[in-house]
Amino acid sequence: MAGVPILPAPVRGERRAGRPFLVDATTRVVVAEEPEAVCAAVLLAHRIGRAAGGPVPVGHRDDGEPGAVVLRLAESGDLPLPPGLAPDLAAEAYRVEVDHARVVVTAAEPVGLLRGLAALDQVAVPVQGGLAVPSCAVLDHPRFAWRGLCLDVARHWFAPETLRDVVLLLASLRMNTLHLHLTDDQGWRIETPSRPRLTEVAAATSVGGDPGGFLSRPEYAALVVFAAAHGVTVVPEIDVPGHVNAALHAYPELTPDGAGVPPYTGIEVGFSRLHADVPATAAFVRDVLADVAAMTEGPYLHVGGDEALTLGADEYARLVAMVAEEVCRAGKTLVGWQEVARARLAPGSLVQVWDDREDLSAVADAARRGARVILSPARRTYLDQKPHAGFPVGLDWAGTVELRDAYEWEPADVVPGLPPAAVAGVEAALWTETIRTRDEVLTMLLPRLAAVAEVAWSEPGRRSWPDFAARVAALAPTWDEAGLPWYRSPQVDW
């Protein structure tokens, strides 16, 4: 690309003639008096301070003097965006203008400022005493509003520090959604006040006898706030009516004979389930979803719905209807894996496609009835799949997923007959049956998450593999510097 190594590729980005802007200890940050914008400015000042070797001031008055990084909130009309751009996409739009005297980041919303700062981070290069930002002009907005990662913290448990590392990585790639798969057969990972035994009894286990853990309410709340400060929404997933062995273990009254089940530490899927006619089921679903909804700032509640392989179609539909009603009562928008498309869903619900080997006509039908679709086709976005057959960790039921597989695909083509406007966005997934450590999490994510991020942000006309390969190679030093291990895909000249 002519000049700016931004990833995901921006709508427009060009290098300009002239000297770079030098960020050093004399740099000032100027920001609009709007709390979230100030929060972005403080994060920026902190980053500059680290590079420049000392704190830099944040102020509100722009005296037009050189040496300032200015964060401006403009009317979206002041940004030359395509007419009719959806409001959620316009909110994340940004403009960056750099010359030797000033850096100006303009956005309609504070979240757009964050996206602009993430792009700026990628063009800045370390120099003696600080950073050099090449003269450039960027104007950008995302293609899709939902750009996320599903992280499975149920099969293996990952501490809040690791989750914060993942949030920072998402934000650096201008992704906006951290979907936490919080419950599964092997463990329950979120404090749920109405059913304390879920974490007292069913959080200590993980796959293979590894240690468990869970997010206490304050830890979860802190993660939600941290993520929001970086423009990332946390979407909690409580997986029902399948994948519930941990819940049945903690609350035996959820089983037909009341005898409960032993804990499970294997990696089979699809054997456990709720029972529509067991009296405790409805109250369990209601109370647990209400608890999690109450702790969650964002508008979404993911209810799983996948792989309930021991449930008949009628009982499955009854259970999903029960769950959907509670999500609605809790004032949230339902998200579910592709299987929920078979049930009746409120318009605006989100259906997440994962197994693109299946017949997806029910998903297209649900979209015609008003559902929207998140694309996580396993052969492209399942980052738990090995990048190559000899890779030491990961599964391979969907085949191998190398970097280029994660890059070269088109979201609008995954579901035959899907109206293009029904595509809400794209999400990668990292299941953790075989992933046990923070470093394994990051190595599975990098560099492939960058590929999925670009598919989610950039229009097909802006995407090309050779260009991506060059830009992703330019990011690797920043991962090294941040202490993030990554997989050296042989498809890139690092």
Interaction site with ligand TNX (CB under 6 A): 269, 306-307, 337, 354, 382, 384, 395, 431, 433
CB 429 within 8 A of CB 376: yes
Residue 307 designated active-site? yes
Alpha carbon of 77 to those of 85, 91, 142: distances in Å? 11, 12, 17
> What sign for the dihedral angle of Cα 108, 110, 114, 120?
positive
The answer to whether the bond into 347 is cis (omega within 30° of 0) is no
Phi-psi region of 130 (alpha: psi -120 to 50; beta: other; left: phi over 0): left
Beta strands in 222-317 (DSSP E): 233-240, 300-304
CA distance 258 to 397: 35
CA dihedral 192, 198, 201, 204 (to 10 degrees): -80
Which candidate in 92, 109, 237, 307 is catalytic? 307
**Position 256: which residue type?**
P
Contacts of residue 7, Cβ cutoff 8 Å, sequence gap at least 6: 122, 173, 450, 453, 454, 468, 471, 472, 474, 475
> What sign for the dihedral angle of Cα 234, 240, 242, 248?
positive
* Closer residue to ligand TNX, CB minimum distance, 354 or 457: 354
DSSP string, 323-374: HHHHHHHTT-EEEEEGGGGGS---TT-EEEE--TTS--HHHHHHHHTT-EEE
CB 353 within 8 A of CB 373: yes
- Tokens linked to 8: 């995901």
CA distance 53 to 480: 20
Consecutive H or E run containing 195 = none
Residues belonging to the active site: 307
